[in-house]
Amino acid sequence: MIAHIIVALIGSLHIYILVLEMFLWDQPRGLKAFGNSVEKARMTKTLAQNQGLYNGFLAAGLFWSLWVDAPLFAMLANFFLGCVLIAGIFGAYTASRKILFIQAIPALIALIFVNMGW
């Protein structure tokens, strides 16, 4: 049950990231979240919207895992949390170290809970 809650929280986080990247990228909240200038945000808006869409797919997969029976939950949650973990590690390496703490570590914790059957 704890694993389900953590998966739901991570899915919700990725919906929030989708909103930031797809709709608020060049707005004050998006500028602050990603530390961009207005000029840089305008130049990269299409790329950010694409990233946001991918975050939406991650969220959709995580929420999908919550709607299925136990064996399939673990399989789907492991796959999508693994994708989040890899994306978080890559993002921390290439873009910002804070992504490790916002995305990768929570996914790792969720993976542990899912695989412990909690």
Per-residue confidence (pLDDT) for residue 9, from 0 to 100: 98
What proportion of the chain, given as a percentage, has pLDDT over 90? Answer: 96
What is the average per-residue pLDDT within 12-32? 98
Q: What is the pLDDT of residue 75?
A: 97
User: Using CA atoms, how far apart are residues 89 and 111, in angstroms rounded to an integer?
Assistant: 15
The answer to whether the beta carbons of residues 32 and 45 sit under 8 Å apart is no
| 96 DSSP 8-state letter | -
Q: What share of the chain is helix, strand, coil (3-state, %, to 5)?
A: 85, 0, 15
Of 10, 3, 8, nearest to 103 (Cα)?
10
* pTM, 2 dp: 0.92
Per-residue pLDDT at 81: 98
Where exactly are the structural domains of the chain? 2-115
- Give the model confidence (pLDDT) of 81-118 as tens digits: 999 999 999 999 999 999 999 999 999 999 999 999 88
Residue of 55, 68, 2 lying closest to 24 (CA atoms): 55
- Res 118: pLDDT: 87
The rounded percent of the chain whose pLDDT value lies above 70 is: 100
Q: At what angle do helices 70-94 and 38-66 cross, to 10 degrees?
A: 160
**Mean per-residue pLDDT of the chain:** 97
